[in-house]
Amino acid sequence: MDPASILITNDDGFGAEGLRVLEESLASLGSVWVVAPDREQSGQGHALTLNQPLRLKRVAERHYVVQGTPTDCIYLAVNTILSKRPDLVASGINRGYNLGDDITYSGTVSAAFEATLMAIPAFAISQEIGEGPISYEAAGRWSASLAQQILKRGMPPDTLLNVNVPRLAPKGVRITHQGRRIYPGGVVERRDPKGRPYYWIGGQSADWEADPATDFAALAEGLISVTPLHLDLTNYKVVDEVRRWNLEL
């Protein structure tokens, strides 16, 4: 059997330490291809870049830099760079967690979604940060063990795994569901030197629903959180109810 082909990308850019740790961690499992954005993409749009051309630069064997989003990286890698479809896509290790409702905006998770759309098994992995130095060691080690499982078992259809690693040495692993932000409702009003107001969102720190099955709770208990996600936001539970509204023209 051919050695596994593993494609990795991230949201923090090609030079990020988390990407390097991910590459090293997966190296023993197959040939790792690194195709990553040239710079940090946080806060950028995470969809495919359709309205402008993308530059792609080979910087070393199996190492490419893309002037685009993490999603672009996966798309270009599979469609033009790799000669065959990868067996696994891993995205990360992101500097900072991707939990709860905020994963909708996460480039790290979006890249894994793009792979899932192409029916390629994928996971996203993010490292909680706090004060003091960041260690990606536990996340790297656990990436390898998860990758091994996925290469062996495959992935349920239409599913990706969103992994978050706690800041301190993990005490275990929990399969979770996506948690919900509890609305802080804070806005801080300030005045500029000319007396004009401006506003900061998030005066209070965000809180989260108290449910031990959530990704947040797992992390707070020092566990690695693994959430199986899919791409479908439809609330099937209420479809029939809305049908009974008999909406008409």
In the bound state with a second copy, the residue whose beta carbon lies nearer, of 131 and 199, is 199
Which listed range, 12-20, 27-35, 86-94, 155-163, lies at the site for a second copy (CB under 8 A)?
A: 155-163
Six-digit token string for 3: 């050695």
Residue 138 to residue 40: CA distance in whole angstroms: 23
**Measured from the CB of residue 223, what is the shortest distance to a second copy in angstroms?**
9
**Measured from the CB of residue 53, what is the shortest distance to a second copy in angstroms?**
4
Q: Is 198 a binder of a second copy (CB under 8 A)?
A: yes
Q: Is 186 a binder of a second copy (CB under 8 A)?
A: yes
Which listed range, 10-18, 27-35, 129-137, 234-242, lies at the site for a second copy (CB under 8 A)?
A: 234-242
Q: Is 172 a binder of a second copy (CB under 8 A)?
A: yes
**Measured from the CB of residue 192, what is the shortest distance to a second copy in angstroms?**
9
Burial readout 25-45 (b: 16 or more C-beta within 10 A, e: otherwise): bbeebbbbbbbbbbebbbeee
**Rule CB under 8 A: which of 50-89 touch a second copy?**
50, 53-56, 72, 75-76, 78-80
Q: Is 231 a binder of a second copy (CB under 8 A)?
A: yes
The total of other beta-carbon atoms located within 10 Å of residue 48's CB is: 16
Specify the pairing of strand 224-229 against strand 181-182: unpaired
**Spatial contact of 179 and 217, defined as CB atoms under 8 Å apart:** yes
DSSP 8-state secondary structure symbol assigned to residue 75? H
